[in-house]
Amino acid sequence: MRDEDKEAYRSALRDGTLSYKSIDELLAFFKNNKMRIEKVPKEFFKQKGVNNILTRLKLRVCYGKRSWEGLIIGFPGNRQQLSTKYVGTPYLRLILYPILDLYLKLQQQSARAFPCLYLLGERFLELIQYQSLINSAIKREIIFDYS
């Protein structure tokens, strides 16, 4: 496999050519269940540890049912674009710790518990488990939701 294939997702994300259809459908599910979805406040991206690479993803905060509240990270793209052929381990490692930093900062600066971290994408869970990054990086319970 060519190295440029592994960068295809990152390039498409930067160019804005990926579909948000499945993410928008999942966000509609939250809204239909009386949850309020808001963009992550821009001040979080000015803090140390949270980098701008995350701003290309669909970042939202979910409010409402306390056991459902948390941070939503939407990974655009279809099943092919989110396959291991196009998304490499270096990219996932690059974004995983900033995601966790953002989630912890959101919890710390809010009066809410935010027990959930949602990673949304057509096959994102399969991808990140395949790359073995979840088991090595996460020490807390994280809830995944994907279509």
- 128, with CB counted inside 10 A (0-12, 13-18, 19+), is buried
Please give the model's pTM, rounded to 2 decimal places: 0.80
pLDDT at residue 133, rounded to an integer: 47
> Does residue 49 surpass a pLDDT of 90?
no
Taking the C-alpha atoms of residue 87 and residue 94, their distance in angstroms, rounded to an integer, is 12
Highest-scoring range by mean pLDDT, 35-49, 53-67, 74-88: 53-67
The predicted-structure confidence for 84-106, as pLDDT tens digits, reads as follows 788 877 888 888 888 888 898 89
Residue 61's pLDDT band (boundaries 50, 70, 90)? very high
